[in-house]
């Protein structure tokens, strides 16, 4: 065959499958990176995919993860379907997975949102909340890690804390963002608030329940600055959309800093549509907050709670800020990461400075420049996650219908 006929036959072959293929496809697109196919590496981020490819848009009933992208003439892409970990940066990703990474589905739970995981190291207990839907009073959950295998049971502190949506530790007690409110919860009135629970006694107290008389909307996620020890929290409007509060929002979506010793609350941020996950780098110099405005609802007190819808072109971005003045001032807002699946819900920073976010059917692991290194793939939507264990190298993930755990070489920050 001369050059012209061989080009012609290539062209005809391409036409035969309906496409002229782009140059620059790195093959294999994906490959087994060991551990019996549970770790799959995507070469060069699949930056050029062969035609025809198409990723369906997720909705409230189906999550089309990256692995669900249909890619013609790329059989290796199918390897992603069976993987627990997808590695995008092979050198750093494999190092962070360590010598024996594992993923284990631990507990099937209700389809309610599961959130606010807090690990109490002294008791070796992991507290997890359950939120509507379905609406109604739900006790919280606790995973007892002293049992082998770990056991799951219901948990109610005294008095009960309604609808924790985020949690962390401060001065030896748990700080929960309690995201719901009405006047008949557990025998009395509770409003959206910052609450504490002492894991040694299970006693709860209220730190903050209003902004100059107004109810907060949702207090969603909380983070304590390592130097000022002030409590930063996000206040989106999901509790109204999801019927966890009886009162329509009285405040705009915003994020705040609270100083428990003076009682003063400071507005820190009011540009995000639905501020959600919040976390500090270990040295406290960078603040991250996710905007999950792509999942939103309507505020009309006459209509009541209408649930939420997802719009793929809405906000699903993590932003970063510089933190100064010993953790009292933030500046230099910048876009950090656009979630590659669903919305970036829970947000935490590892001891190594890696930024993790629960987004759709998995958890994305990013470096401090926002480069995706690893994705944990799950078969349920992950809302949040927390590190447990003596060395904080076990990561428990939780969300709608599932609780699972990962063992790897990424370490949590000590929170107590």
Ligand X SMILES: *[C@@H]1O[C@H](CO)[C@@H](O)[C@H](O)[C@H]1NC(C)=O
Residue 240 contacts ligand X per CB under 6 A: no
Kindly tell me the sign of the dihedral angle through the C-alpha atoms of 212, 197, 221, 370: positive
Residue range at the interface with ligand X (CB under 6 A); choices 57-65, 279-287, 315-323, 339-347: 57-65
Separation between Cα atoms, residue 42 and residue 33, nearest integer Å: 9
What is the pattern of x (binds ligand X, CB under 6 A) and - over residues 189-228?
------------xx--------------------------
**Nearest residue (CB) to ligand X, 58 versus 212:** 58
Element (H, E) at 3: helix 3-16
Separation between Cα atoms, residue 324 and residue 313, nearest integer Å: 33
Residue 91 contacts ligand X per CB under 6 A: no
Residue 122 contacts ligand X per CB under 6 A: no
Structure tokens at 111: 């389809």
Under rule CB under 6 A, which residues in 1-40 are in contact with ligand X?
Answer: 13-14, 17, 21, 27, 36
Which residue is closest to ligand X by CB? 81
Q: At its nearest, how many Å lie between ligand X and the CB of residue 23? A: 11
Q: Which of 60, 250, 326, 331 binds ligand X (CB under 6 A)?
A: 326
User: Which of 415, 150, 162 is closest to 280 using CA atoms?
Assistant: 415
Question: Looking at 213-312, which runs of residues are DSSP E strands?
Answer: 222-224, 231-235, 254-259, 264-269, 275-280, 286-291, 295-296, 309-310
Phi, then psi, of 255 in degrees rounded to 5: -125, 145
Under rule CB under 6 A, which residues in 143-182 are in contact with ligand X?
Answer: 155, 182
Q: Which of 3, 62, 303, 369 binds ligand X (CB under 6 A)?
A: 62
3-state SS record for 283-308: CCCEEEEEECCCEECCCCCCCCCCCC
Kindly tell me the sign of the dihedral angle through the C-alpha atoms of 145, 201, 127, 328: negative
What is the pattern of x (binds ligand X, CB under 6 A) and - over residues 243-272?
---x--------------------------
Q: At its nearest, how many Å lie between ligand X and the CB of residue 24? A: 12
Q: Cβ(361)–Cβ(65) under 8 Å?
A: yes
Footprint on this chain of ligand X (rule: CB under 6 A) = 13-14, 17, 21, 27, 36, 50, 54, 56, 62-65, 67-68, 73, 81, 95, 98-99, 105, 108, 125, 136-137, 142, 155, 182, 184-185, 201-202, 246, 311, 313, 325-326, 352, 379-380, 389-391, 401-402, 409
């Amino acid at each position: 065959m001369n050059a012209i006929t061989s080009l012609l036959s290539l062209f005809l072959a391409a036409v035969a499958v309906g496409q002229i293929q782009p140059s620059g496809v790195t093959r294999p697109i994906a490959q087994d990176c060991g551990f019996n196919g549970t770790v799959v590496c995507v070469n060069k981020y699949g930056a050029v995919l062969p035609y025809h490819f198409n990723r369906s848009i997720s909705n409230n009933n189906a999550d089309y993860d990256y692995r669900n992208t249909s890619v013609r003439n790329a059989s290796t892409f199918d390897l992603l379907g069976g993987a627990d970990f997808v590695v995008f940066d092979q050198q750093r990703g494999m190092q962070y997975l360590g010598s024996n990474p594992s993923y284990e589905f631990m507990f099937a739970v209700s389809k309610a949102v599961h959130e606010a995981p807090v690990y109490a190291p002294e008791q070796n207990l992991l507290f997890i909340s359950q939120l509507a839907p379905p609406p109604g009073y739900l006790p919280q959950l606790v995973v007892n890690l002293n049992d082998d295998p770990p056991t799951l049971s219901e948990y109610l502190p005294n008095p009960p804390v309604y609808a924790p949506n985020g949690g962390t530790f401060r001065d030896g007690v748990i700080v929960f963002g309690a995201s719901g409110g009405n006047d008949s919860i557990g025998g009395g009135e509770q409003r959206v608030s910052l609450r504490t629970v002492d894991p040694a006694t299970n006693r709860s107290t209220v730190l903050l329940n209003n902004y100059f008389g107004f109810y907060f909307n949702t207090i969603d996620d909380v983070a304590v600055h390592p130097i000022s020890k002030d409590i930063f929290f996000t206040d989106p409007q999901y509790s109204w959309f999801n019927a966890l509060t009886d009162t329509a929002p009285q405040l705009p979506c915003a994020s705040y800093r609270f100083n428990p010793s003076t009682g003063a609350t400071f507005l820190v941020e009011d540009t995000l549509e639905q501020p959600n996950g919040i976390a500090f780098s270990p040295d406290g110099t960078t603040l991250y907050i996710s905007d999950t405005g792509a999942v939103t609802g309507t505020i009309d007190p006459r209509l009541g709670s209408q649930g939420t819808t997802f719009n793929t072109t809405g906000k699903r971005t993590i932003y970063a800020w510089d933190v100064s003045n010993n953790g009292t001032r933030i500046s230099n807002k910048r876009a950090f990461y656009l979630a590659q699946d669903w919305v970036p819900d829970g947000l935490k920073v590892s001891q190594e400075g890696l930024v993790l976010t629960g987004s759709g059917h998995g958890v994305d692991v990013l470096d401090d420049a926002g480069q995706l290194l690893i994705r944990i793939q799950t078969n349920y939507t992950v809302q949040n996650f927390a590190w447990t264990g003596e060395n904080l190298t076990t990561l428990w993930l939780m969300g709608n219908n599932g609780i699972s755990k990962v063992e790897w070489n990424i370490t949590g920050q000590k929170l107590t």
